Structure 1
Amino acid sequence: MRPVLRRIAVAVVATWCISVSAQEFVVRDIRVEGVQRTEAGTVFSYLPIRVGDRFDSERGTQAIRALYASGLFKDVRLEVDGDVLVVIVDERPAISAIDLTGVTEFDKDQVLKSLRDVGLAEGRIFDRSLLERAEQELRRQYLSRGLYGVDVKTTVTPIERNRVNVSVAAIEGEISRIRSITFTGNSVFSESVLRSQMELSTPNWLSWYTKRDQYSRQKLSADLESVRSYYLNRGYLDFKIDSVQVSISQDKRDIFVSVNVSEGDRYIVSGVKLTGELLGLDEELQPLVDVKPGEVFSAERINAVAKRVTDRMSTLGYAFATANPNPEANREKREVAFTIVVDPGRRVYVRRVNIAGNNRTRDEVIRREVRQFESAWFDSDRVRLSRDRIDRLGFFESVTMETPAVPSAPDQVDVNVTVKERATGNIQIGAGYSSSEGLVLSGGIAQQNLFGSGNALSLEINTSKANRVIAIAHTDPYVTPEGISRSIEIFDRKSDLAKLGLSSVGYSTRGAGVVFGVPFTEYDRVFFGLRYENTTIDLTAFSPLRYVQYVEQFGEKSNSLALTTGWSRDDRDNLLVPTRGRYQRAFSEVGLPGLDLQYYRLNYQYQQFFPLFSRVTLAFNGEIGYGDGYSGDPYPFFKNYYVGGIGSVRGFETGSLGPRDVDESPLGGNRRLNFSLEAYVPIPGADRTLRALSFVDAGQVWGLEVRRDAAGNPIGDSRGRPVYDKEKLDLGNLRYSVGIGVAWISPLGPLKLSYAYPLNKKPEDRIQRFQFQIGTGF
């Protein structure tokens, strides 16, 4: 109505203007009256008449329209004083202040920003239509959050100098909760089963966090599609939702949802065949059809067949291939046959690879990970591999790849890589706490993406009552264009096993190492390097005799030069929070002859990640290690493996499992086996690295054990010292635990909390059910 009234008013004024100015004249001067804040020059800038122009009724009408269109005035009049044109205006008021009261559901700064975006802000010209629009939008936002009883009122108060104060007051009321969700017409599946397919639910003890009991039309539509998919995936081809009723109580606190469905009959697949342009790939495409006659119809499986066909086509350059399943139902026999019509479309090649979002990271750092080349045929597998390789760099919060068609070129596409960078460097002085190590003071400089080059440089200073680390490391992942990497490290580490509750002995190791990595496939890399170590052993009067005997035989100080070799295979989709893929690593360390220590260590690690559901990831981790001396030298005890605690078998004290000395202190061992199975669930609304988890752990370490008599007493040699024998590897000694926990890559460093229950603890085991670690690696 307001635009109509405005046009009528303009017409009336224009008519009046024509009547008072029927006699044309030449404008000798223009006078502006009624302005308070607006400069006269601003009025002249909108006025289409200048001094010296001939004034008539048509030009008067144009002038009034132009001044109204500026939005600065609510009334405009033209008068004639001889040959002087008088412009009389009534200014619209300006907004002096906007006050929000009662708004607690939204951040006030965000609300003010939203008002500013639509033109309502301090200093702006007040427009009531904009205020009404903003009021309706705010009310709609409240409704989307389940506040159906909200009352939003706006008040405009005039003040001096033609200004107004705008007040927006909200009485939010209580959030409307879903009190019931009912289904009618269902007989095959119970109401509780159908409700379990929905995100929306009635209130429960977690509703304060999940907010699943807050009604939303969009959420309900998505939930109904989930229910539809549930039926279609179980054979009910004719399933349909007849009606949906949503009602609200009189006090607008309770919402009731009722869904009426028709289930129909259950269908069996009678056959699936591929037709269309198969490009001579019939024998290759047919094995992709894994739905066999006689099986229960599943829309999900049929669509999966179609997707596998289009995915295979897209690896051959047919980026826009389609495979449409067409059902042919026999309702009498309750059977359905599917004909999947394949249309490969045009074969396309990639015109250009575009990279966006990398404000710090150099283009070449991203581009060297891209395996889809320009001017080559499009290959969806290479596009997917490129995305995973870029994501595994660990420099970005997110990586997306799009393949839009090139306008006016039907046989070309572009590959658009868009990244969102994350902080990869920090200067840190901080503290953490570990249930096993106590207070950990740390500081250092680390940059995983130095100057955007992809190189990593770190200076680490980390100290606790049990471990001290001073280390500097540099890694260049592309020493050569072929992707050979080089890592250099200089370190000084000191460990006090007594303060870990393990043994009354400490040792410090200083040294340096260099490792080269050579890729030989997209996923595989071999490593080789050298590491020099100088180790000093610190004994006390209470040190286990095993360690005392070692020092007596080889001295407190030793030097070693170790050759390190290894192999890794990594096809995980993400470095920080993988959801699918596999990681394997084999590593060997051999102390070379000529120095004090001659030993070897062999390690193998296997990780597998499975996406169970849309939000649940199952992760398996297994590790095995073996070490020994050669040429008559014993295995150095400071190279021992330790099992127990976070990273191995939770619920047992850190490093406490395995053989013990005569004083019952853990000795560790030269053989290790541990594995775990974890289920990760991301916490809604939080950082993607914050996840809840449940786990099953198992592990043990075997080494040298004290020889004992039938009564369990230690047996000594002729000098009364304990005698040690190689412990038999018995899988019956494995320890098991189950539990729950939380994992998060926090600003202070990786964090893990766990509460575990040991399943087969022995009397000599040290139990620690709750464990956590933050600020140090694990």
Structure 2
Amino acid sequence: MNFLSNRFRLQHLFVFVATAMVSLSAWAVEPFKLKDIRVEGLQRVESGTVFASLPFRIGDFYNDESGAAAIRALFALGLFKDVRLDTQGDVLVVIVEERPSISQIQWVGLKEFDKDVLNKSLKEVGLSEGRPFDKALADKAEQELKRQYITRSLYGAEVQTTVTPVDRNRVNLTFTVTEGGPSKIKEIRINGNQSFSERTLKDQLNLDIGGWLSWYTKSDRYSRSKLNADLEILRSFYLARGFLEFRVDSTQVAISPDKQDISIVINVTEGDRFVVSNVKLEGNYLGKEDEFKAIVKIGIGQPFNAETVAETTKAFSDYFGKFGYAFARIDARPEIDRLNNRVSLVLVAEPSRRAYVRRINVTGNNRTRDEVIRREFRQLESAWYDGDKIKLSRDRVDRLGFFTEVNIETQEVPATNDQVDLIISVVEKPTGSVSAGAGFSSTEKVAFNFGIRQENAFGSGNYLATEINTSRFNRTIVISTTDPYFTEDGVSRTIDLFHRTSRPYLGDLNAYSLVSSGAGMRFGVPFSEVDRVFFGANLEQTSIRPGTNLPNAYVEYMQQFGYTSTSLPLTIGWARDGRDSALVPSKGILQRFNSDLSLAGDSRYIRTNYQIQHYTPLTKKFTLALNADIGYGQGLSNRPYPLFKNYFVGGLGSVRGFQQSSLGPSNSANTLFLGGARKVVFNAEVLAPFPGAGNDRTLRLFAFADAGRAFAESQKISLTDLRSSVGIGLSWLSPMGPLRFSYAFPVKTQDTDKIQRLQFQIGTSF
């Protein structure tokens, strides 16, 4: 907040009074030549400051006019509250009384605003510790603070300024604030509506009389800016439904005598409803009228809709941009037939001149390096303006997943008619998470765990993750790093190192365990703007250490192939990302295909996985997200599929409402979940903004339906065996990382299924 940024100065009327009251000896003197000048009364101000302000020097002639000018100049410094001139022969004596300096500024009772921000604002106007005290500035600051409290619906707030003298001509300045309770909206009335009910219109407004979430949304707090925004929403609501001549006649805001209750009355005139009778194109369309007609979104015979008109003009502007016309103007001129309530729209286009991009500027990236953003740009500097490339560039930057907002603005270059600058502004989000902890139990004793994951390590765009866990049941050391631009052409490189020891958490330290170690490297080669092919190799070794509770499937595997299996799987994959955002997508398709093929070593197998996610915007606020994830594993060379490569289904990330990894083959007692060589998972979500969060995409609600299961290699995949659930959840891009909470209602279950209705997770989208 910088509400004191405009400097203000009180015109010291008493300067003129002081000038008029100067002793007659200073005024009624005959001009004389100055032999000396003395200054008296200085405490902190340097004498040189006074001498530099005087309009005369030793040796000059002194008269009445030069004396008056000297007094005005010294008062103008703002350092003195009194200035007098005295003459002693041919010596001039300047007698000053300094203003007290501010020793300390204190705030009492401040809750709504941050005192450091207020102190910074005061400093910008000259009211800070060590500066001369100016009561006019202090009074102005007090009044401005009261006004700011009113904007936050705290009409009863009182601010009192106290000036306390201290030693050495200093003062302490104290602002005592009594904030009181906020004034709340108790009534909203809309008059003049006929086609829509008052309740329907109130539902469009952000201001309301309060509800169970008002403590968070503050929707019952009045401010003029909020009301103006709601009036625009109301106007857009009518214009989108054919009421071309709708207007807001007046608004009345009344506050109760105790300044606690606010009433709002909105008076409107709806006017008649108009239907679009025709759409005509006029102007210069570069000889591509048919192409422009194909992107018209205005429906003839439908009620006039200002939103579709705006979408059409924007589509026209974007299409002109495709050919380099950055300054194209498209005007929608309505021709109204009030007799028949018809309107004909004339779209007049003026492409203006073709332009090229002079410079691309990046703002808002406090942590991320410029090059990380610029290397995603397909629009180049000193190249012709291309609307399609600019949109593609914006989407590529958004798909990085480092930013909550990515916007591109076009600015004309002064004194030119064919150049533009592109301003890309981003809002960074936390891209890393750190976890550290220690635990103690009778079975595990002391266990430490530490993990760090950074998707944008040191602002370089590289991915870095480390995980360490010293639990007796799950010991892990994992290091993974990805350089998305290993080469300048965008070939990525990923290196993985891992060592894991896991045993079933049954409270038995003598239970069997799996120990796996390995390393791998893979590269990703971009084949198009949305397609990338991956290939690489891994070296893995997995050992089965016998113990209690060892499942029969593991016993049979050891008897046939031994305790230790070594494999050298080759990896090939493909990904196509056509989403508009990697963080919170609202449209587009993401596809992933990955296959591991091991033809050497003790384990011979093929493991293939395909996933597709489809995002469709239902409205501006609601998005439908569909996901399918299918995995298939098969043993090769007459060898069974290795059990330690099984897929697991159940819980967040697959089928919510069931215990994690529990949907699939298990031991006879149903206490150990073994996973399966095949998996089938389907998900559907409808995402909506959190009530009161506005356009904030980091906090959303969703309703979901899930189905899926894992199958053993010997089992036949049957959709009738899938488990399913429905439920609701909350998604939050928190500083700790993406958080997802869900509460599920299992629909199709079996008696042996492990139900877990409430679940939460940090990580995956589905």
TM-score normalised to structure 2 length: 0.91
Residue number in structure 1 paired with 2:602: 596
Residue number in structure 2 paired with 1:483: 490
Residue number in structure 2 paired with 1:609: 615
Following the alignment from structure 1 to structure 2, what is the Cα–Cα distance between the partners of residues 293 and 127? 66
Following the alignment from structure 2 to structure 1, what is the Cα–Cα distance between the partners of residues 232 and 253? 17
Instruction: Report Cα offsets for 1:138-182 as digits up to 9, x if no partner.
Output: 001110111112222223333443333323222222211000101
C-alpha displacement of 1:749: 4.7
Aligned match for 1:213, one of 189, 212, 220: 220
SS in 2 for 1:651: coil
Contact kept? 1:10, 1:65, Cα under 8 Å: no
Following the alignment from structure 2 to structure 1, what is the Cα–Cα distance between the partners of residues 733 and 69? 66
1:766 aligns with 2:766: no
Q: How does 1:302-313 map to 2 (within 5 A)?
A: 302-313=309-320
C-alpha displacement of 1:7: 5.4
Aligned match for 2:337, one of 327, 330, 336: 330
C-alpha displacement of 1:353: 2.6
Residue number in structure 2 paired with 1:149: 156
Q: How does 1:29-44 map to 2 (within 5 A)?
A: 29-44=36-51
Distance 1:122 1:130, change over 3 A: same
Contact kept? 2:402, 2:428, Cα under 8 Å: yes
C-alpha displacement of 1:506: 3.4
Aligned match for 1:416, one of 397, 415, 423: 423
Comparing 444-453 with 688-697, which one deviates more in the overlay?
444-453
C-alpha displacement of 1:655: 1.1
Unaligned runs of 5+ in 1: 705-724
Residue number in structure 2 paired with 1:721: none
Residue number in structure 2 paired with 1:94: 101
1:624 aligns with 2:630: yes
Following the alignment from structure 1 to structure 2, what is the Cα–Cα distance between the partners of residues 527 and 12? 88
Contact kept? 1:17, 1:61, Cα under 8 Å: no
1:8 aligns with 2:16: yes
Residue number in structure 1 paired with 2:5: none
Contact kept? 2:282, 2:346, Cα under 8 Å: yes
Comparing 140-149 with 731-740, which one deviates more in the overlay?
731-740
Residue number in structure 1 paired with 2:729: 741
Letter in 1 for 2:701: L
Q: How does 1:455-494 map to 2 (within 5 A)?
A: 455-464=462-471, 467-494=474-501
Aligned match for 1:693, one of 701, 706, 720: 701
SS in 2 for 1:403: strand
Instruction: Report Cα offsets for 1:641-681 as digits up to 9, x if no partner.
Output: 11111111111111111234433343322221112233253
Residue number in structure 2 paired with 1:388: 395
Q: How does 1:17-416 map to 2 (within 5 A)?
A: 19-21=27-29, 23-356=30-363, 362-396=369-403, 398-416=405-423
Instruction: Report Cα offsets for 1:19-74 as digits up to 9, x if no partner.
Output: 322x1111111111233332333322322222222212222222111101100112
C-alpha displacement of 1:430: 4.1
SS in 1 for 2:78: coil
Aligned match for 1:636, one of 637, 642, 658: 642
Following the alignment from structure 1 to structure 2, what is the Cα–Cα distance between the partners of residues 680 and 499? 40
Residue number in structure 1 paired with 2:566: 559
Between the two proteins, the alignment pairs up a number of residues equal to 752
Distance 1:104 1:345, change over 3 A: same
Comparing 335-344 with 533-542, which one deviates more in the overlay?
533-542
Contact kept? 2:404, 2:583, Cα under 8 Å: no
Letter in 1 for 2:589: R
Contact kept? 1:603, 1:623, Cα under 8 Å: yes
Comparing 420-429 with 52-61, which one deviates more in the overlay?
420-429
Residue number in structure 1 paired with 2:6: none
Comparing 514-523 with 438-447, which one deviates more in the overlay?
438-447
Contact kept? 1:612, 1:618, Cα under 8 Å: yes
C-alpha displacement of 1:323: 1.2
C-alpha displacement of 1:326: 0.8
Contact kept? 2:702, 2:728, Cα under 8 Å: yes
C-alpha displacement of 1:632: 2.0
SS in 2 for 1:461: strand
SS in 1 for 2:534: strand
Unaligned runs of 5+ in 2: 1-8
Distance 1:491 1:726, change over 3 A: same
SS in 2 for 1:288: coil
Question: How big is the alpha-carbon RMSD for the aligned residues of Structure 1 and Structure 2?
Answer: 3.1
Aligned match for 1:703, one of 706, 711, 724: 711
Distance 1:611 1:602, change over 3 A: same
Distance 1:184 1:176, change over 3 A: same
Distance 1:271 1:730, change over 3 A: same
Following the alignment from structure 1 to structure 2, what is the Cα–Cα distance between the partners of residues 320 and 748? 43
Distance 1:449 1:766, change over 3 A: closer
Contact kept? 1:471, 1:491, Cα under 8 Å: yes
Contact kept? 1:428, 1:443, Cα under 8 Å: yes
SS in 1 for 2:418: strand
Contact kept? 2:105, 2:172, Cα under 8 Å: yes
Instruction: Report Cα offsets for 1:236-292 as digits up to 9, x if no partner.
Output: 112111111111111111000011111122221101121111111111111111323
Aligned match for 1:658, one of 640, 661, 664: 664
Letter in 2 for 1:58: E
Contact kept? 1:648, 1:697, Cα under 8 Å: no
Distance 1:598 1:418, change over 3 A: same
Instruction: Report Cα offsets for 1:295-318 as digits up to 9, x if no partner.
Output: 122111111111111110011111
Residue number in structure 2 paired with 1:718: none
C-alpha displacement of 1:743: 3.5
SS in 2 for 1:273: strand
SS in 1 for 2:236: helix
Residue number in structure 1 paired with 2:588: 581
Contact kept? 1:644, 1:652, Cα under 8 Å: yes
Instruction: Report Cα offsets for 1:313-346 as digits up to 9, x if no partner.
Output: 0111111112111111111211111001111111
Distance 1:449 1:201, change over 3 A: closer
C-alpha displacement of 1:93: 1.9
1:647 aligns with 2:653: yes
Letter in 2 for 1:477: P
Following the alignment from structure 1 to structure 2, what is the Cα–Cα distance between the partners of residues 646 and 622? 15
Residue number in structure 2 paired with 1:716: none
Aligned match for 1:672, one of 679, 697, 702: 679
Following the alignment from structure 1 to structure 2, what is the Cα–Cα distance between the partners of residues 399 and 702? 39
Following the alignment from structure 1 to structure 2, what is the Cα–Cα distance between the partners of residues 668 and 438? 29
Distance 1:452 1:154, change over 3 A: closer
SS in 2 for 1:764: coil
Contact kept? 2:689, 2:696, Cα under 8 Å: no
Distance 1:776 1:586, change over 3 A: closer
Instruction: Report Cα offsets for 1:566-611 as digits up to 9, x if no partner.
Output: 110113344334344332101111111x422221122111123345
Distance 1:191 1:463, change over 3 A: farther
Following the alignment from structure 1 to structure 2, what is the Cα–Cα distance between the partners of residues 293 and 748? 50
Following the alignment from structure 2 to structure 1, what is the Cα–Cα distance between the partners of residues 381 and 541? 51
Following the alignment from structure 1 to structure 2, what is the Cα–Cα distance between the partners of residues 421 and 432? 34
Aligned match for 2:542, one of 513, 516, 535: 535
Contact kept? 1:432, 1:776, Cα under 8 Å: no
Letter in 2 for 1:115: L
SS in 2 for 1:296: coil
Letter in 2 for 1:763: D
SS in 1 for 2:525: strand
